[in-house]
Structures are given as C-alpha cells and as structure tokens.
C-alpha cells in the first residue's frame, strides 16, 4: 500500500501513528478485507484492536450488510449460546419467542468477536462448526440453520498458554488464526506516544475550552521511557487528568511523575485465570502428590492389618492349646486373677506385641493359677504334651491332629521336628 492511501485510511478512522508495526497491521487488514478468511487480532488491552474489524468490514464486499461487535467477556456463560446462535420458543425460562441470534441476524455481514478467549468450551465447539460448515443449531432446537458471515476475532489472552491449560480449543484457534494481525503495544511505538498525547490534549482543549497543556523535554523523555501497561487507553486517561488538574500548562518531569503510577503493572499478555487460581498443570501436580501419599497410606494400612491378623491368629492358637491343658486363657484372664504381662514374657518392645505360641514363648514360663502344687510349667513341655495327646487321639494322623490343634500342617511338622517326634509318629 502506498503512503497516500495509508494516510487516507488513518484520517478516516482517526488513527494516529507512523510506526512500522502499526502500518503493517493496517496493510494486512486492507488486504484481507476483500476475502472471507477469518482473522484473529492479537494485542494487549487498550492498543485499539477494535479499529481493525471495522476497517475490514468497511472495505469488504459486505460493507452494505450488517456489522456486529460482540464482547464475549461481557455476556454471562448461561446465555451466551442464546445470544450468538438464537433459541426456540420455550427452550428455557423467559424464552417467550424465537430469537435468531447474532449469527442469524448478521447473515451476509460481519461479526467481530472481541475477547474471544473468554468463550466457554461448549460455545467454542459451536463456533468451530460455524467456521467449518456455516451451520449451527439454535438453543432448544433441532433444525440445522445456515449462515454466511465473515468472522473477525480479537483477544488479549496468551492463546498458546490457554490451549496448554485446556481453556481454549486448539482446532478453533487455528480456524480463527487464518490471518493473524498483531497490534503493537504503545511502549513499542516510539514517537507515536507524543503524537497521541498531542491529539488528546487538543481534544480536551477544544471540548472544555481550556488552554492546551504541553510537555518539557525531560517530561517527553519520561513519557517515552514509561512502559504504558494500559497502552493508548492509559495515555488518554493520564492526558485528560493533567489537562483538568494541573495548574501549570507546561508539564515538566516532576509534575508528570505525580500522574504516572510508580507501581508499574505487568506488560505481558493477560490470561483469563484469576490471580489466585491454579493452572491445570499445577492441579495435576497436586493430584499426583495426593495419589502418591494415598498409595503410601494404603500400604501402611495393609501392613498394619496383616500384623493385627497374625496377632489374632497367634493368640487363638496359644489359647487353644492352653485351654486343652486346663490353663487359663492368656488373652482373657479371669476376674480377680492377676493377668500375665505378655510384654514381660517377650523380648520385643510393647508397641510391637507380635508373638507365636510355639516359637516366641518357648523359653518363657507361666504359672498356672489352678495348679494345686503351684509348680512352674514350661511352655515347651506343655506344647510337647499337647502334640503327643493330639496324635494319640487321631491315631498318629498328623493332618487331623493339626486340625484339632487349630494349626497348619507346616507348624505341626516344625513342632514334631523340634520335639523329636517326626521319626516316631507317622502320617
């Protein structure tokens, strides 16, 4: 595009600036205006993205048709599908009649979807179908509707991060981004900052009939070095403040510093997540950590259950052969009888009361309260006698003897081998 044509476009849309990035964005917009290719305008908040879709529509074959600019972030999630695609009568509370929606009303025209990164996932799927086939279904309806619209979208969201976090469909992004247009932030436009400042001061002076303010050289340098996180919108606000509140009409660096914030905001592309919200990546890390800790807790619980089950089995076995000899149960002592201190009988700490009636208690002694002679009985002898009696009652059949004693065949075999009975008795 030649310089004269570009200047006409700037005058028509009141665009101020001569930086290369801005000129390139305008040139791309004019070239794509003659086509129906979808356009995605990317830039920080306040850079003037809304000028591009208007310029595209006014210079396209659709310029005599309808143009709708829709702020997707300002429409509630519960009603946005109805706003965009229409609804049938009675499809929800308050739907007293049919509605065509923006895509039905703007047929043959242009739709500008501002803040498209704020769209809910379900709405993104509907929009993708419109882009691919030109078809959509009204809320509560079944009939497939057709529309022919040129879609221009804009966002200040970091789209690649939104896609990674699952907040925006990747396929929709590539459909919208057929023709990308990047709007430069104000801090990268150099002398355009001073040109815009001059325009805003002239507008204020004409509107309120007040003397126009100017800047000293040191104030101009401060304006050029400031990062302008709010871009053109912030520059206009500060210019209006100084035009009304400043007593001096020539603004120096000291006076300017009173209007420029010292706590500069981030100048990076914004994200739709709230400051205290977790990204999906951090949430996955938290879930992995919880699952890892839960797996450890389950393992500890399983080990504790196995230990407890073995303690119960060992207690039952010890009580069975003790009762067979007329000895009081070790697990449940009679009232008024001093219970045996099991922890004193074992060589293990009290917090680990694991014992086996044959292996762990062999060398310990227990006094039988009902023994008339008050003799001290050795549990190893008691075990031998119990095993011998069981074998006698079962005719030497080890399997039946083990069942009677309530122990396994392997445990009985170990007892027989220990007592030297394995060679005397037979199965």
pLDDT in tens, 367-417: 333 443 433 344 455 577 888 888 888 888 888 888 888 788 888 888 888
Q: What is the mean pLDDT of residues 336-343?
A: 44
**Is the per-residue pLDDT at 348 higher than 70?**
no
pLDDT for 364: 37
pLDDT for 331: 44
The three-state (H, E, C) secondary structure of 172-234, written as one string: HHHHHCCEEEECCCHHHCCCHHHHHHHHHHHHHHHHHCCCCCEECHHHHHHHHHCCCCCHHHH
pLDDT digit string (tens) for 21-73?
999 999 999 999 999 999 999 999 999 999 999 999 999 999 999 999 999 99
> Which pairing describes strands 250-251 and 67-71: parallel, antiparallel, or unpaired?
unpaired
What one-character-per-residue DSSP string does 251-301 give?
E-HHHHHTTS-SSPPP-SPB-SS-TTPPPHHHHHHHHHHHHHHHHHHHHHH
Contact 118, 72 (CB under 8 A): yes
Q: What is the mean pLDDT of residues 241-265?
A: 87
Q: What is the mean pLDDT of residues 123-145?
A: 93
Contact 52, 110 (CB under 8 A): no
Question: How does residue 109 score in pLDDT terms, banded at 50, 70 and 90?
Answer: very high
The phi-psi region of residue 374 (left if phi > 0; otherwise alpha if psi is between -120 and 50; otherwise beta) is: left
| Whole-number Å distance between alpha carbons of 21 and 30 | 15
What one-character-per-residue DSSP string does 141-156 give?
--SEEE---EEEEEE-
Question: How does residue 182 score in pLDDT terms, banded at 50, 70 and 90?
Answer: very high
pLDDT for 365: 36
Q: What is the dihedral of CA 193, 188, 4, 54, to 10 degrees?
A: -90
Lowest mean pLDDT among 2-16, 30-44, 339-353: 339-353
| Whole-number Å distance between alpha carbons of 168 and 121 | 7
The DSSP code for 302 is H
Contact 156, 185 (CB under 8 A): no
Q: At residue 212, what are phi and psi to the nearest 5 degrees? A: -75, 140
| Whole-number Å distance between alpha carbons of 362 and 415 | 11
At which residue do the structure tokens 């356009």 appear? Answer: 39
Rounded to the nearest integer, the mean pLDDT of the chain is 81
Q: Nearest 5°: CA angle at 56, between 52 and 58? A: 115
**Is the per-residue pLDDT at 327 higher than 60?**
no
pLDDT digit string (tens) for 77-98?
888 999 999 988 877 777 777 8
The DSSP code for 425 is -
CB count in 10 Å sphere of residue 389: 16
Q: What is the mean pLDDT of residues 272-291?
A: 54
Contact 83, 75 (CB under 8 A): yes
| Whole-number Å distance between alpha carbons of 138 and 87 | 5
pLDDT for 318: 67
**Is the per-residue pLDDT at 347 higher than 70?**
no
| Whole-number Å distance between alpha carbons of 310 and 15 | 85
**Is the per-residue pLDDT at 176 higher than 80?**
yes
3-state secondary structure of 239: helix
pLDDT for 282: 56
Q: What percent of the chain has pLDDT over 70?
A: 74
Q: At residue 201, what are phi and psi to the nearest 5 degrees? A: -70, -35
pLDDT for 40: 97
Lowest mean pLDDT among 48-52, 154-158, 191-195, 397-401: 397-401
Question: How does residue 15 score in pLDDT terms, banded at 50, 70 and 90?
Answer: very high
Q: What is the dihedral of CA 246, 250, 251, 254, to 10 degrees?
A: -100
């Amino acid at each position: 595009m030649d310089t004269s044509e570009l200047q006409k476009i700037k005058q028509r849309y009141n665009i101020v600036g001569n930086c290369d990035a801005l000129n390139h964005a305008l040139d791309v917009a004019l070239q794509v205006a003659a086509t129906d290719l979808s356009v995605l305008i990317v830039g920080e908040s306040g850079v003037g993205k809304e000028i591009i879709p208007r310029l595209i529509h006014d210079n396209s074959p659709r310029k005599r048709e309808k143009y709708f600019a829709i702020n997707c972030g300002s429409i509630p999630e519960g009603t946005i599908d109805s706003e965009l695609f229409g609804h049938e009568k009675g499809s929800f509370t308050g739907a007293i009649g049919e509605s065509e929606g923006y895509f039905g009303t703007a047929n043959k025209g242009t739709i500008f979807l501002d803040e498209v990164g704020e769209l809910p996932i379900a709405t993104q799927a509907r929009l993708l179908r419109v882009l691919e086939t030109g078809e959509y279904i009204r809320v509560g309806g079944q009939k497939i509707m057709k529309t022919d619209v040129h879609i221009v979208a804009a966002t200040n969201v970091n789209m690649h991060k939104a896609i990674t976090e699952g907040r925006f469909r990747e396929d929709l992004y590539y459909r919208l981004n057929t023709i990308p247009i990047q709007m430069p932030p104000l801090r990268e436009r150099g002398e355009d900052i001073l040109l815009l400042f001059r325009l805003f001061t002239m507008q204020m002076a004409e509107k309120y009939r007040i003397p126009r303010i100017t800047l000293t050289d040191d104030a101009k340098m401060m304006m050029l070095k400031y990062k302008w996180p709010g871009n053109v919108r912030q520059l206009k606000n500060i210019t209006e403040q100084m035009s009304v509140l400043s007593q001096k009409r020539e603004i120096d660096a000291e006076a300017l510093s009173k209007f420029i914030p010292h706590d500069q905001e981030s100048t990076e592309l914004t994200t739709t997540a709230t400051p205290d919200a977790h990204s999906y990546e951090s949430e996955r890390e938290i879930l992995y950590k919880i699952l890892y800790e839960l797996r450890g807790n389950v393992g500890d619980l399983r080990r504790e259950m196995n230990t407890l089950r073995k303690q119960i089995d060992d207690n039952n076995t010890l009580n069975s052969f003790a009762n067979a000899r007329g000895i009081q149960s070790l697990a449940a002592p009679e009232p008024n009888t001093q219970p045996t201190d099991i922890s004193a009988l074992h060589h293990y700490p009290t917090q680990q009361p694991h014992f086996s009636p044959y292996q762990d208690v062999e060398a310990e002694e227990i006094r039988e309260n009902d023994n008339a002679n008050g003799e001290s009985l050795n549990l190893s002898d008691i075990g031998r006698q119990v095993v011998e009696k069981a074998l006698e009652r079962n005719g030497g059949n080890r399997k039946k003897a083990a069942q009677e004693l309530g122990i396994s065949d392997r445990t009985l075999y170990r007892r027989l081998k220990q007592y030297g009975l394995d060679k005397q008795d037979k199965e």
